[in-house]
Structure 1
Amino acid sequence: MFTREKIMENMILRPNIKKIDKEVIKRILLEAGIKNNISHIDEPNVWVMQSHRIYLTDGGRLLLKIGINPDWTDSSTILNQVKATELINSTGIKQPKILSFSENEDKYGFKYILSESQRGTRFCDEYKKASKNEREKLYKSLGQAYSLIHNIKNKWSGVWDGDIHKKKYPIHPADFYRNAEIYGGSNKHLVESNIISDNVFERICLAWDENLSYLKQRPTSLIHISPFPWSIYMIRENEEYSVGGFSALADFMWWDPMSDVAHLIYPPYLNITKEEQDAFISEYDIPLDERAINLYMILNRLCAMSGCYLAPVKSKEANLWIHNEVKSIEKALNKLGF
């Protein structure tokens, strides 16, 4: 579970790109049973991990992700992505397969995951070019896909530690975010930056505290935690849409499915219509909890407005969205009675 402080620290102290010899990449592919020649490899990009997009002479595409920051990529981070992929595929969603991985640095000097490349188009890109009817179809497909994900249940909430049955941290996510983002982190940053008022800051803190025990007794499912429009991939076939996979795999964890729902019907940096929200709800088969959704919507808005999500949008568009979303937070607080 990342915090605003940790994300901003990583932005400042982001490691330099780690140079990986092409012959090393060839060896990793060969050991994974990939015998096709490499056509070319894109220049790597770095965020949580360093990503190399690999193109094969037969037209195949692969993704090699390398851990370069030990604080952000420990052994469980690798194993969690492997487990998340297995769980997603068990629902029938065609998440790109992981071909090989190493959770230690013994062989190559770095941890890594080699997988198939994502199929399809990012949701945000598909949405931009879609008609009104197509956008509603897109949201229906999200309702179907996240119903499958959220119907995988668990008895406890939190991040798993390489094994889906092993809890990594003893703290409940609702307590974690209270400390990290409600009293500190994003909420504190926004009030200190005069984006929200002291009154709104205090109302947010009070709303979370008054509902903390309620959130902690909510049902627990597999959730994405980062179901952003840019971390969901869509496939279009015969005028219909389906989810073809997800990025941000390391974020999958056990928690309240309404946390994802709040993101999906109130997406960051995207203003969707009520018809599109209703399209999602019409295909989503888990009962909605408006109280929980409003609380998570506030949390998600705080994180988005403070820059935690590093959305791929222009700064002018982002600033306009942030300005308008202060009203959305106040509206959600009013609904909650605060």
Structure 2
Amino acid sequence: MDLSIAGILALDGLTNGAVYALLALATVLVFAVTRVIFIPQGEFVAFGALTLALLQTGKVPGTVWFLLVLAGAAALYDIADGIRHRHAPGRVALQVLRTLAIPVVVASVAIWAAPRNFPLVVQALLTLALVTPFGKLIYRLAYQSLADASVLVLLIVSVGVHFALVGLGLYFFGAEGFRNPSFWDERFNIGTLAVSGQALIIFAASVALIVLLYLFFERTLTGKALRATAVNRAGARLMGISSNGAGQLAFTMAAFIGALSGLLIGPTTTVFYDSGFIIGLKGFVAAVFAGLASYPMALVGALAVGLLESFSSFWASAFKEVIVFASILPVLLWRSLRDPHAEEH
């Protein structure tokens, strides 16, 4: 291996690591706020990439129908909850309207826009609008009633949600893989390296989102409320912060980050209905490097995972996934020896 090959591998690793960093940040965010180890984070990636791919072909993506199904199920949950707690009919109707409004509007716009072949950027924005509401709806249907359950129970639910989403992804998108067009086709030569415009977009989008997340948590009242929920759920409730609202917001942000990651990674690799699991799992490995707690360490871990994957593909391509996932073992051992063990209450 000479320096030019090492530079190419490093650039490829950092590009993938930037995407893994977004997924790692989403994983840390969801776990910190809700204690959910969100295995299906990668499914948002696949849904984002495949939704854009179907919009490119002029077809109405299956995401539209899935969104309406989830919204309908959440509305039925609202009605049942209102009956159980004997809420006034007007209050129940208002809650149902809030649940259905955004999904129905976004789905209607998608059905109208799909055959009209709008520019790629418009289709990307529509994709984000379609996939982002999945986070809140999935939290409400699968996790909200179990918010105070143990981490193990929440993990089991996450595994079940993962298998459900993979199966539904096969039904709505089919088994065929798609590769999306690049957002920027230019190439730039930096010494012996050729940097694509898409790689620059990935770096810029990742840095921008990380900065926005930092400003959100440090400068906004809502962000501080999420941080308070992450630090002490009971204390946050006593201060009037809704744990359900915090969970819904955390999952919504995770869905947005996942969909954005799908848009970024779609032009660099062929995405299938089940591709999100491996991609999301690499983000999870990076989050474990951070102990599922530190955002800066999650970023460092993601870049390390990207570099390890890239160089492993050169030296032992058949075992690159094994090498990446095996790297989590010494980290777990180190954290097990370093961190004190405490019983969960």
TM-score normalized by the length of structure 1: 0.29
TM-score by length of 2: 0.29
Larger helix proportion of the pair: 2
Higher strand share: 1
